[in-house]
Amino acid sequence: MKFTLFSSLFLLLASQMVYSQANLDLETGVVSSMYNDVRIPNETGTLFSLTDDLQTDSKPFFRLRLGYRFGKKHNLIVLFAPLSLNASGQYDQEIHFNGEDFPAQSQLKAKYTFNSYRITYRYDLKRTSKWIIGIGFTAKIRDAAIKLTEGNKSSEKTNVGFVPIINFTFKKFL
């Protein structure tokens, strides 16, 4: 009896493993900011640019994607994409930012963060050796912040939000 139960369980798991596939994707490069204007709060804050008024350095970035296909048509994909840039410099006028006042010509440091975390479920409607068509749903959490610092004074505006995304895929293999 134990042998039959063990054999049945093994065959069931082995048949699922035949269709299972895991993959790992790592992207990297250099990111720079070409446009990043800030005004917090929107109506009464000072409009200034992290790229035109301060100097924002380029830096390396990475994105990590882990995917797992189970069964013949089910896919689960997790994405981790952290992003932050640092800026520094002096601004020629006083800055009102998020409830704090930063004097003109003071040495400012700023940090811009826009992290993205996603989990996707996708169902492959059609999968052949030549192409894949699928549809699914992605739940994205974006974790954004802008922080301004001068000496011992700092202020940070954070925003975390959920973004629902419909996921489509069409891949043609050559």
Taking only the tens place, the pLDDT of each residue in 52-87 is 999 999 999 999 999 999 888 999 999 999 999 999
What's the whole-number mean pLDDT along residues 91-120? Answer: 96
What pLDDT does 75 receive? 95
What's the whole-number mean pLDDT along residues 44-55? Answer: 94
151: left (phi over 0), alpha (psi -120 to 50) or beta: left
- The mean pLDDT value of the chain amounts to 90
153 contact partners, CB below 8 Å, separation of at least 6: 100, 102
* Residue 41, preceding peptide bond in cis (omega within 30° of 0): yes
What's the whole-number mean pLDDT along residues 81-97? Answer: 95
Per-residue pLDDT band for 41 (boundaries 50, 70, 90) equals: very high
* Residue 60, preceding peptide bond in cis (omega within 30° of 0): no
Residue-wise pLDDT tens digits, 8-23 = 555 555 555 555 689 9
Give, in order, the Cα–Cα distances in Å from 11 to each of 4, 22, 38, 86, 169.
10, 20, 59, 54, 32
- Does 166 have pLDDT greater than 90? yes
Q: Which two tokens stand for residue 5?
A: 């139960």
- How far is Cα 111 from Cα 55, in angstroms, rounded to an integer? 11
Residue-wise pLDDT tens digits, 106-130 = 999 999 999 999 999 999 999 888 9
What pLDDT does 72 receive? 86
- How far is Cα 115 from Cα 96, in angstroms, rounded to an integer? 25
- DSSP for residue 41: S
Domains of the chain: 22-172 (2.40.160)
Q: What are phi and psi of 99, to 5 degrees?
A: 90, 0
